[in-house]
Amino acid sequence: MAILLDETHDAKRTSWVAGANQHADFPVQNLPLGVFSVRGDTPRGGIAIGDAVFDIKAACEAKLFSGDADKAARAAGASTLNDLMVLGAGPRAALRKQVSALLAEGTPESARAMPLAAKLLHKAADCTLHLPAKIGAFTDFFAGITHAENGGKRRGANPPLTPNYKYVPVAYHSRASTVRPSGVSVRRPNGQRVVDGEQLPTFGPCLKMDFELELGIWIGHGNTWGDPIPMSRASEHIYGYCMLNDWSARDIQRWESQPLGPFLSKNFGTTISPWIITPEALAPFQIAQPPRPDGDPKPLPYLWDDNDQREGQFDLDIEVLIHTEGMRAKGAPPQRISASNTRHLYWTVAQMVAHHTCGGCSLEAGDIFGSGTISGPTPENYGSIAELSFDGTRDITLASGEIRRWVQDGDDIYLRAHGRRDGYSIGFGDCCARMMAGGR
């Protein structure tokens, strides 16, 4: 279902909140949902605006909402947003509309909100951001076709793609319990791996640590067990988006994934950006799914929908930055090592939802998907260090003079995403975590 653009998307709308206008991530056109706390108080729902967090519960107590927006705001007062997500698109869009009016310059609603600014707004620097929902299940897709091809080439497969790839949105069930929000360090795992030059496995720390540049997808209200979600209804179940770093222990993965796929190489930690970017905020950045190359099969009918083909993909610039201990010591900023775009996904999010449920699997509010690593066609667009270093065989020389073939202890890895249009941009906020030494 197309989301109609309205006054909340108007590039000319400005906010009275200091720092919001021209903010690269959180101008008034974005308004992402999250869960925050201030100096250890009770976590609750909030909305990012500039360098501040809008307190939904405080606004609710001040009776600033009505109708569906009020219903949404009450649900968002909880310490996770699962109850809000169950409500679906209508209340979410209503809340967005009323918050936009409260925070915009020159609206009648803003005249009610501005005198309450001290209660309604918290400095983002004073806030801790939490996971926005209790995650019941985490599924990781493999929809970045260049990443899939590069992986096949590394394994020596010819052709590099398996015969199912262009028919099936390939995925595996990953681990929900180890997903953490940006800012939480991840510990290098121990595991079985065959060290280069050896024949037999040993147990020890991962020696080939990697990141993966992925779009995360939040599921809103679910489906009944046994009832597939058709393509035409898929968008109703998608609650929003984040960035997702699917940390990957490549040496452990290579040894264990025969024949069933990733297990311990992927389940030790996943980092997500904590703000839920809504489908409404991303509506201006929707694009047609790029046509498949000549000779590729048309998706089977249960994965085909004309509307989805017309508007089911996104034009979002996505990137990976590294900030090593050495760079931090010198006061140097993070360095970009990859730049890609979500348009390189071979499958749309609606196709992922329809495929996930076609056999009757039930999704639930708070489930999360990873898109798969979104590499672009050229090496500058590769979304994992295994691709950038050609499986650890080529040096990546950083501006600091440091060299990387894999992620080292002390490296901060940032994922970022931006939609750009009409002189404004909306961003996803940081998806950053530091790789820490193992040691257990």
Q: Would you give the DSSP letter of residue 377?
A: S
Binding mask of the shown chain, residues 395 to 424, with x at each position contacting Ca ion by CB under 5 A: ------------------------------
Residue 302 C-beta: closest distance to Ca ion, Å: 24
Residue 344 appears among annotated catalytic residues: no
Q: Virtual CA dihedral for 278, 283, 284, 287, nearest 10 degrees? A: 120
In the set 23, 122, 130, 147, the catalytic residue is 147
Nearer to Ca ion, 246 or 308 (CB): 246
How many residues bind to Ca ion according to rule CB under 5 A? 3
Stretch that binds Ca ion, among 12-20, 115-123, 151-159, 241-249 (CB under 5 A): 241-249
Burial class (CB in 10 A: 0-12, 13-18, 19+), 164: exposed
Spacing of C-alpha 368 from chain mean position: 9
Residue placing its CB nearer to Ca ion in the complex, 130 or 147: 147
Q: In whole angstroms, what is the distance from residue 213 CA to residue 375 CA?
A: 8
For the stretch 202-232, what's the b/e string if a residue is b when 16 or more beta carbons lie within 10 angstroms of its beta carbon? eeebbebbbbbbbbbbbbbebbeeeebbebe
Rounded distance, CA 39 to CA 125, Å?
10
Q: Which is nearer to Ca ion, 247 or 414 (CB)?
A: 247
Of residues 249, 129, 139, the one with CA closest to residue 187: 249
Residue whose CB is nearest to Ca ion in the complex, by number: 246
Residue closer to Ca ion, measured from CB, 299 or 383: 383
Closer residue to Ca ion in complex, CB, 14/375: 375
Judge whether 182 and 36 are in contact, CB under 8 Å: no
Which among 41, 31, 242, 57 is positioned nearest to 132, based on CA atoms?
242
Interacting stretch for Ca ion, rule CB under 5 A, among 182-190, 244-252, 318-326, 374-382? Answer: 244-252
Which one of 25, 140, 210, 251 is in contact with Ca ion (CB under 5 A)?
140
Q: Minimum distance between the CB of residue 210 and Ca ion, rounded to whole angstroms?
A: 10
Structure tokens at 62: 């001040």
Shortest distance (Å) from residue 384 CB to Ca ion: 8
Q: Are 136 and 190 in contact (CB under 8 A)?
A: no
Q: Interface mask (CB under 5 A) for Ca ion, residues 188-227, using x and -?
A: ------------------------x---------------
* Among 25, 210, 246, 280, contact with Ca ion (rule: CB under 5 A): 246
Of 16, 36, 15, 64, the C-alpha closest to 123 is 36
Q: Which residues are registered as beta bridge partners of 435?
A: 186
- Residues 152 to 181: which contact Ca ion by CB under 5 A? none
Task: Give the residue numbers annotated as catalytic, written as ranges.
Answer: 147
Given the rule CB under 5 A, which residues bind Ca ion?
140, 212, 246
